[in-house]
Amino acid sequence: MTIKEERKVKEEVLGSLHYSSMENAGLSMLYLSALSKTSEYKGDEERFEKKYSSGFEDFSEMMIFKNGQESFEKENDLMAWRYAHEARLYWEKKALELDQCS
């Protein structure tokens, strides 16, 4: 395919998807990817909330004051939950920033 043909295909696809430029399409793709990540980590958090009938903050606090009782499952879940919580907050912030770019 020649450079001219490639350009024509790209312009046709961009126009069909209602994008004015490759940059606009790229920003949209990044925004949708950030929303997807947010949704993924929110789902992880919701699984833990259901499992422990608690929110992240309350569960974290309970684990701090557990009076010497060890539960490797709960400790592992807390680490995974913390990761999901922080990742969701990060991707929510990035989605908001990307939304403001367009």
Question: Which residue ranges make up each domain of the chain?
Answer: 54-102
**CA torsion angle 79 81 82 84 (round to 10):** 120
pLDDT at 82 over 80: yes
Overall pTM surpassing 0.95 (yes/no):
no
What pLDDT shows up at residue 50? Answer: 97
Reported as a single tens digit per residue, the pLDDT across 9-68 is 989 999 999 999 999 999 999 999 999 999 999 999 999 999 999 999 999 998 887 766
Nearest Cα to 29, choosing from 42, 19, 38, 40? 19
pLDDT at 102 over 70: no
What pLDDT shows up at residue 67? Answer: 66
**What does each C-alpha distance from 15 to 19, 24, 53, 91, 98 come to in angstroms?**
6, 11, 48, 29, 21
